[in-house]
Structure 1
Amino acid sequence: MSTDQVQSDVIDEKQKQELIQKYDRESNVRQNLGKWIWIAAIIGISLTSFHLYTGLRGTFGSLMQGAVHLGSGLALIYILYPINRRASKKIGVPFYDAILALASLYCCFYIVWNYDYLTSAVLFGFSTHDQIVALAAILLLLEATRRAVGMPIVIIAVLAMLYGVYGSASWLGVFSHPGFTWESMATRLFFTTESIFGTPIQVSSTFIYLFLLFGVLLVRTNIGQFFNDIAFRLTGRYTGGTAKAAVVASGMQGMVTGSSVANTVGSGSFTIPMMKRAGFKPEFAGAAEASASTGGQIMPPIMGAAAFIMAGYVGIPYSELIIYALIPALLYFLGVFLGVHFEAKKQGIVGLPVSELPTFRSFITRMDMILPLVTIIGLMLIGYTPTYAALWGILAAFVISLLRKETRPTLLGTLDIMEKAARTAVPVIAACATAGIIVGIVVFTGLGGVLARGILVLASGNFFLVLFLTMVACIILGMGLPTTANYVVTATVAAPAILLFDVEPIAAHMFVFYFGIVADITPPVCLAAYAGAGIARGNPMRTGVTAFKLAIAAFIIPYVFVMNPVLLLQDWTFATLLPPLITAIIGMVAISAAIMNFFVDRTKILERFALVTGGIMAVYPNDIWISLGGIGIIAIVGLIQYFRKKNNQTPDQADTATA
């Protein structure tokens, strides 16, 4: 491929933004706010200032903290997000959206102004005015969520509320319950900490927002380019080096961004043209970037927003959660890395010349860029709260940005960062609040326990079938819901079914978390893969299928750590950890080789079948003899291919291979 062709593959900032808006609903904002840009800036800066203040001085009560958080977020959504895509090109904000923004502020700040009265009204009853405010707030929340997040989660929330009101119908059978009136349901959803202002919003209004601000500020330091350079230096000269570098770089960037589509577009705009130049097909280049970028949501230390909520649900400190999540995340990226390696070997794609790689000297002059990440990780590991760690990380990132002229923000630049953090956060706020409605209905009606028992009955008590049905539910929900909302719903509905088998809570919750995330690269609705295809100019569905194949580890690892939570560092020693870890890696090598159709040599049909069988046997965690049998099958296939390849080589090829 010529230099001109490579240049034509590189997309500019406008094209990147168009791709993000096309495949990421959360980025589909008004293109020209006109004079309203100042109102949006004031609300965004005020919201960020509020979280910095409460992070430093301590948060208010859960209901009051959440009310300020949600009210400001909803108002900002109505200013930023149009009623439909056609309206996004119009200048300014229409009067009806201005009214909706003011109404959102009024409904939520009604809690702040009447906090003492409302906390007592829970016991003594709510007035008609209270009921109207609650109903209006719920409607405003649902419409804001539709605009910023999408319709699927709104449909589920509406169905949940209909079930809450009309659940006494006899035809519902075992799913029936006494039912609520619209008024009582609305006040319970909005004026208590059991639903809209439950755990998701409580976590969002404390440290998720601060970590999002940290991510925005860290991007300002150009750490993304630093990660790319490190990745290319480490892997660029080896077989398929450009694709391997994309996997490593996306994993590191994912620690900061936590967004599948945004990471795919941001990192992929650089890595995908490089992969195509090396000889990878457009569909493979887009898929490699998408699968690696999606894994960013499971990569400590920051992961996706849902991980913070998981810590609250499971009842463990976030500093412990990131340690438990490390081995599965590394296994995921190893799986993608292996897929890239085998594809490169099959295609005969070599690495880049060392002269084209970044120098070690260039890293030394930029090593300060990792200080903010080191600060956050270090403080959490020695026992400080995520809020405290995030504040110091924000300070460190800000100081680092001052060290270089090209990243040094002015006063207006600093305010822009504060506003951008709010813009990044509002879809998460809406998703958390709407997911809270669903969770509230599930808890109020006892639906969670009924569904868990229903899954158990449907699976006839078979543990593997329960896991499979839960996986399918998570993937289907993930095709329409953002990761945060998907996790909240499945953790409430599906995880209890797994817990009936005395599974470790962290393993059950991590299981649903993983499968909610991989929906972004699971056809037919694989938005991260479609974004990668847009950059690579490849076929979207083929890109999605290839991304699914590359990320096959994500469909294996959760089963392994549910059956043997030692991979999540539960009650582990080196003696108990090493055998399942080693067999899992060997099994992933075999399965990846079978899927990519190359091991030592191109695989034949029977060899692929044997590799898959041996790989599944190897990763089986609770019987070492089954694992050893699988490893034996893999070794036999490897030897067969080795001798076949050796016998098929010409003398010149053999000399070259030896050299």
Structure 2
Amino acid sequence: MEDRVHSTKQGPFSIVTAIILIGYALFEILTSFFGMLEPLIQRSLFLGLGLGSVFLVGFVESGQNGWRRWYLLPLAAIGFYVGFHITWHNERISNFMIDITATDKVLGLLAIALVLDAARRSIGIFLPALAILGLAYYYFGNAWISGPWQPPRVSLITMIETYYASTETIFGYMIDLGTRVIAIFIILGALMLSTGATDIFVKLATRIAGRSYGGQAKICTASSALFGTVTGSAVANVMAMGQVTIPTMRRAGYSGGYAAAVEAVASAGGQIMPPIMGAGAFIMAEILGIPYSQVVVAAIFPAFFFFMTVWLSVGFYARRRNIAPLTKEELPAWSEIFDPYTSLPLYLPLGAMIALLSMNYTPTFAGAIAVGLLLVSQLALRIIKVFSEGQPKELGQSLMELLRQVLTGLYNGGRAVAMIAVLLACAAIVVKVLLTTGIGVKVAGIILSVSMGSLIAVLVLTAILAILLGMDVPTTASYILASAVAAPILVGLGIVDLHAHLFIFYFAIMSAITPPVCASVFAAASIANVNFWRVASHAVIMAVGLYLIPFMFIFRPGVLMEGTTFDIATDVVITGIAILAITAASSGFLTRTLNPVMRVALYIGAALLFVTTGWSDVVGFSIIGAVAVWGHFTRSPPAPLNVANAGKQVFRDNS
């Protein structure tokens, strides 16, 4: 009886929550199509709807009773109001000649507190705790601290004006980017998922990778790469794809820990996969003041090398254990991959979006067009299919199913956008503290002092900083914080702005798979039901080459499409060979199973390719080539394929 009463009480709130989140998503779609409202109005609606929705979703989905659940309702109401208050009073608040009222002060304090609590509920405790420490330092530091670390003195009014009643912090450029760019791509990904458009990714990946060694794991790698360009989120990738990929890899002969590690690492790489990269890439373009397409072009080879590393690693692993590829009969037919009823709603929106971005249209417009094409193509093709199959009576049922899928996508998209809104607001608080107190400059000074001005040391410390800041927070937050501190140092040492930011962004991505706190590994381990550290150890070994790729951004800028065609080709080939050698040494296999001496030799040869001199390239190539040739002529005859587990279940059966 108690469960029935609880369900009854929650029912109306579930409906209200669904209406608000669907409306939230529609608001973002419409403003992307027809233009944004005035900045303070657009941003306050975006954050107000997101802030209130986080608490409302928490209430609806909570399994607790009593005050532990019901107190979330007033928090949701206040969350909505602190945003709407700015919307209603935007003209007065925008006028710097008018003092803020007592109501503004109270709501400002409530808004900051609610942003911190909502962020804690959405992304964990680390970033909100950092924001609280920063605010305490900002407001009380002048009285509590003396010496070079003493921040300027500020009043409560100044704090509220800076953080709430202005377009500087929680209604600043990060929230602007969230509502203007990031939201529409999150909604696009949610709609693709809900309408089944992304199922084609699995079939395409199976066709590409299924017949090679490690086929099942390579399918996971390829599908996560394709899927990541829609979601832009490591954990979302793991949770969506891992339910299928991890069990399939285990049935093919991979251990649970290794299968989970493949999914975790491949999913993390989705955030650097063009054309839709992680939200941090949009923020990067905004910070640098460059077209988003320029970031996408620079990320092409880094993304290629990321997935090449995983691809090689699982291939070498499969060869060492003689795990068979899929048979021809298990591959999906090309007709399934290019069936217009299932493929057009995927290829048409993505193709149009890539074309528009390449023509330097804004990401907002490109995303809006992609959403429109997705919905229109789904509607048109379902109507055509019903009549072409001679079943006009099924039209109503088909359209109702499409409506259900679209509403589900809008709901999930609205929910994800709400989490992004509070994440960006919380990150904005921390960044503002770094800027207004000068602590960011002081930390940068410490990095320079410890590194003694050495570029290599600065790069290593920057990588460590990005990974540490990424513990228990999304990549976007890690990138924002690390770039605020470290990017000026790298640029000051002569590194191109875009190269410096991509270096930081890449290591922010790596935080998702780097122990001890790594969200992707935790998610994959929970799906595989294996020990976390077992998954983490496999992920780190697999990712050895990945940790070295960003250093090539600095020493071989051709990897980022910088320089002449010859320079780009040379840097790409050398980087590819270095990654091949590192991955082979880490996996213990190249043309044969490698002994310790051969593995060390490959590491040495790869290390020499990081030194940008002619002699080091020649020596490095010679060492790697010698190991490959020696291994080829001394390898044992291949053992019979391990086909016991192959062919029992393939991806297309699960999709």
TM-score, scaled relative to structure 1? 0.89
Counterpart of 1:116 (choices 80, 85, 91) is 91
Could you tell me which runs of 5 or more consecutive residues in structure 2 were left unpaired when the two chains were aligned.
1-6, 387-396, 642-655
Counterpart position of 2:213? 239
Deviation at 1:159, TM superposition (A): 0.9
Residues 652/290 of structure 1: CA separation in 2 closer, same or farther (3 Å cut)? closer
Residues 500/123 of structure 1: CA separation in 2 closer, same or farther (3 Å cut)? farther
Aligned pairs for 1:109-508 within 5 A = 109-120=84-95, 122-168=96-142, 171=145, 173-365=147-339, 366-368=342-344, 369-402=346-379, 403-404=381-382, 409-508=401-500
Query: Deviations along 1:300-344, whole A, 9 cap, x unmatched?
Result: 111111111111011111122111111101110001111111111
1:563 matches 2:555: yes
1:81 matches 2:58: yes
Deviation at 1:130, TM superposition (A): 2.0
Deviation at 1:123, TM superposition (A): 4.4
Deviation at 1:167, TM superposition (A): 3.0
Deviation at 1:93, TM superposition (A): 9.1
SS in 1 for 2:332: coil
SS in 2 for 1:193: coil
Q: Which has the higher mean CA deviation after the structures are superposed, 311-320 or 90-99?
A: 90-99
Residues 554/191 of structure 1: CA separation in 2 closer, same or farther (3 Å cut)? farther
Residues 505/31 of structure 1: CA separation in 2 closer, same or farther (3 Å cut)? farther
d(CA) in 2 for partners of 1:239, 1:269 = 22
Deviation at 1:127, TM superposition (A): 3.0
**Are the counterparts in 2 of residues 401 and 407 from structure 1 also a CA contact under 8 Å?**
no
Aligned residue type for 2:599: R
Residues 90/303 of structure 1: CA separation in 2 closer, same or farther (3 Å cut)? farther
**Are the counterparts in 1 of residues 581 and 603 from structure 2 also a CA contact under 8 Å?**
yes
Counterpart of 2:629 (choices 639, 642, 647) is 639
d(CA) in 1 for partners of 2:254, 2:8 = 35
1:98 matches 2:73: yes
Structural RMSD (CA): 2.4
Residues 33/146 of structure 1: CA separation in 2 closer, same or farther (3 Å cut)? farther
Aligned residue type for 2:320: K
Deviation at 1:448, TM superposition (A): 2.3
Counterpart of 2:576 (choices 585, 590, 593) is 585
Counterpart position of 2:45? 68
d(CA) in 1 for partners of 2:162, 2:181 = 25
Residues 460/371 of structure 1: CA separation in 2 closer, same or farther (3 Å cut)? same
d(CA) in 1 for partners of 2:409, 2:47 = 20
Deviation at 1:400, TM superposition (A): 3.1
Counterpart position of 1:611? 602
Residues 49/498 of structure 1: CA separation in 2 closer, same or farther (3 Å cut)? same
Residues 314/31 of structure 1: CA separation in 2 closer, same or farther (3 Å cut)? farther
Deviation at 1:242, TM superposition (A): 0.9
**Are the counterparts in 2 of residues 35 and 92 from structure 1 also a CA contact under 8 Å?**
no
Counterpart position of 2:589? 598
Counterpart position of 1:546? 538
SS in 1 for 2:290: coil
d(CA) in 2 for partners of 1:543, 1:324 = 31
**Are the counterparts in 2 of residues 504 and 565 from structure 1 also a CA contact under 8 Å?**
no
Counterpart of 2:23 (choices 18, 34, 46) is 46
Deviation at 1:207, TM superposition (A): 1.7
Q: Which has the higher mean CA deviation after the structures are superposed, 577-586 or 531-540?
A: 531-540
**Are the counterparts in 1 of residues 55 and 72 from structure 2 also a CA contact under 8 Å?**
yes
Q: Which has the higher mean CA deviation after the structures are superposed, 182-191 or 230-239?
A: 182-191
Residues 482/385 of structure 1: CA separation in 2 closer, same or farther (3 Å cut)? same
Aligned residue type for 1:239: Y
d(CA) in 2 for partners of 1:164, 1:253 = 41
Aligned residue type for 2:299: A
SS in 2 for 1:222: coil
Counterpart position of 2:517? 525
Deviation at 1:215, TM superposition (A): 0.6
SS in 2 for 1:175: coil
Aligned residue type for 1:240: G
SS in 1 for 2:198: helix
Aligned residue type for 2:428: G
d(CA) in 1 for partners of 2:243, 2:9 = 25
Deviation at 1:504, TM superposition (A): 0.9
Query: Deviations along 1:226-269, whole A, 9 cap, x unmatched?
Result: 11111111221111111111111110011111121221122122
**Are the counterparts in 2 of residues 200 and 488 from structure 1 also a CA contact under 8 Å?**
no
Residues 165/306 of structure 1: CA separation in 2 closer, same or farther (3 Å cut)? same
**Are the counterparts in 1 of residues 127 and 426 from structure 2 also a CA contact under 8 Å?**
yes
d(CA) in 1 for partners of 2:570, 2:147 = 48
Deviation at 1:90, TM superposition (A): 4.5
Aligned residue type for 2:575: A
TM-score, scaled relative to structure 2? 0.90
Size of the alignment, in residue pairs? 617
Deviation at 1:553, TM superposition (A): 3.1
Deviation at 1:288, TM superposition (A): 1.0
Residues 304/185 of structure 1: CA separation in 2 closer, same or farther (3 Å cut)? same
Aligned residue type for 2:521: A
**Are the counterparts in 2 of residues 135 and 186 from structure 1 also a CA contact under 8 Å?**
yes
